[in-house]
Amino acid sequence: MLTTTGWMLVGMGFTGAMALQIIGKALLRPLGLLGGIESFFAPAGGCASVLASQVAKAKKEVLLLTPSLQSKALLEALLGAAGKGVSVEILLPSGQEKSSAGEISALVGAGACPFLAQESRILSTVLLVDHKNLAVGSVNQSNPGEPGVLEHLHLWKGDANLNNKHRELISNHKMQARPLGSPRGLEPIGQPQQAPQQATQIFQNPMTSQPAGQTIPAGIDQNNPGALLAAAREAAGRGDQAMAAALLEAAKQANQRMQMNSGVRAAA
């Protein structure tokens, strides 16, 4: 039978264990080494801004299944990630080929690979970033005037089991989808093997010229990839695909120049 001192030691042990557990979770969760869930809700574009912030953190890969590309913040984040060399693949319903033609063109020009699913409607959004962070949300089906608007979103960090299941889900959809670009490092579905090699070579060549007959408008800093991407998005939105392509090419060249200059400074 424990004495009073013994019970005090047991209590101190439990208290210490709980404190270590709390401290450990606080340290591991920001590093993505501990599973956790966060929930977000509409309105005010809160869910879309969460998706955009997760895409902006991507270092290697972005997999996105979404009913539409109507969020400007999300589109800008996808363009920025693709411009940095991140593998960006977006799965869209078949109806988006016409309604989001400008956005799709801008993404392809930036190096992303949109896919058109066989389904005409997609009722949920799935985002997997670097196979670490997973976001899943459902769209607002009660308001036909706001197609694709997320009404709630759940974000998991570091849940390997959920990540694997949703990667498999997206992969199964991609197998039956039609690619509109060339996935980085992957053979495009239904395309000859030579096609992605050519696309990669074009993207990696820092001396690639801009489309013939197109000049960058005055007032846009040609050494600022962000400004060039924003201008490309605006051009695509107003239907000027040739200008959007020229701006995207200029953005890629500016980004490559910045990387080359950084490498030279590091070597020095």
**pLDDT tens readout for residues 36-46:** 778 877 765 57
Q: What is the pLDDT of residue 112?
A: 92
Q: What is the pLDDT of residue 252?
A: 73
Write out the residue limits of the CATH 3.30.870.10 domain(s) in the chain.
Answer: 35-188
Token pair of 250 as six digits: 């200029």
User: In sequence order, what are the residues at sequence separation of 6 or more whose Cβ sits closer than 8 angstroms to the Cβ of residue 204?
Assistant: none
Q: Report residues of the chain scoring pLDDT below 50.
A: 144-147, 185-213
In this prediction the pTM is 0.58
The answer to whether the Cα torsion of 118, 72, 130, 101 is positive or negative is positive
Q: What is the pLDDT of residue 145?
A: 44
User: In sequence order, what are the residues at sequence separation of 6 or more whose Cβ sits closer than 8 angstroms to the Cβ of residue 214?
Assistant: 242, 243, 245, 246
Q: What is the pLDDT of residue 190?
A: 39
Q: What is the pLDDT of residue 96?
A: 86
Token pair of 234 as six digits: 């605006």
35-188, CATH topology level = Endonuclease; Chain A (3.30.870)
Tokens 């960006």, residue located: 88
